[in-house]
Chain A
Amino acid sequence: NAGVMQNPRHLVRRRGQEARLRCSPMKGHSHVYWYRQLPEEGLKFMVYLQKENIIDESGMPKERFSAEFPKEGPSILRIQQVVRGDSAAYFCASSPRRGAGNEKLFFGSGTQLSVL
């Protein structure tokens, strides 16, 4: 039973380019959370999605960032026109359902985004 899969592991972009980060949840999980970890910082919640629905996007920057979790395929975190301040590790976590409890929440290994 594969865990939460994130790809790519490392992504390098130049300022102004677009970054697409992918997250495939654990088998049987239909809820996905995205977190961002800046250097020397804890993880900060960005967005919570269910298949085809955004449940909570209170942590998402208002501009340039978007997320989706289509009926088929992985969840995508998209960052348009990246800036150096977007350089961070982006983690995805999945759970089987809303209210399943944090014991059922599992994190992927993250995507390290570097903006040159």
Chain B
Amino acid sequence: QQQVKQSPQSLIVQKGGISIINCAYENTAFDYFPWYQQFPGKGPALLIAIRPDVSEKKEGRFTISFNKSAKQFSLHIMDSQPGDSATYFCAASSQGGSEKLVFGKGTKLTVNP
């Protein structure tokens, strides 16, 4: 059972464009939704995260949009740069004392110069 579904599997964007990655979850107990960035040969690194009490969070060029009723959240990367080329994972957890994360399958983003 896949609790967090992520799309698309891969994404190619031109430099300066907007990258959009979507995730949907099933478990209504989830109350923390982070996005991780992973470069080849490296572990995931926390990029940005949101809790369900807000509908949007922005940090620099990265924005999370959250729709609680639809159980969906998305990552927008504005002014995408070649250095943003990486695999992005959405995740979810229940903050009941454990940081155990459920990950999506990942989106490989390629930003062409």
Contacts and interface: CB of A to CB of B under 8 A. Distances in A.
Interface stretch (B13-21, B53-61, B64-72, B100-108): B100-108
A99 B46 CA distance: 17
A33 B100 contact: yes
B95 A101 contact: yes
Given A48-B98, A55-B98, A102-B32, A109 B41 contact: yes
B32 A43 contact: no
Contact of A33 (B4, B45, B99): B99
Given A42-B6, A42-B104, A43-B101, A91 B44 contact: yes
Contact of A107 (B4, B44, B49, B102): B44
Nearest to B32: A102
Interface string B81-110: 000000001010101011111111110000
B95 A44 contact: no
Interface of B: 4, 6, 32, 34, 41-46, 49, 89, 91, 93, 95, 97-106
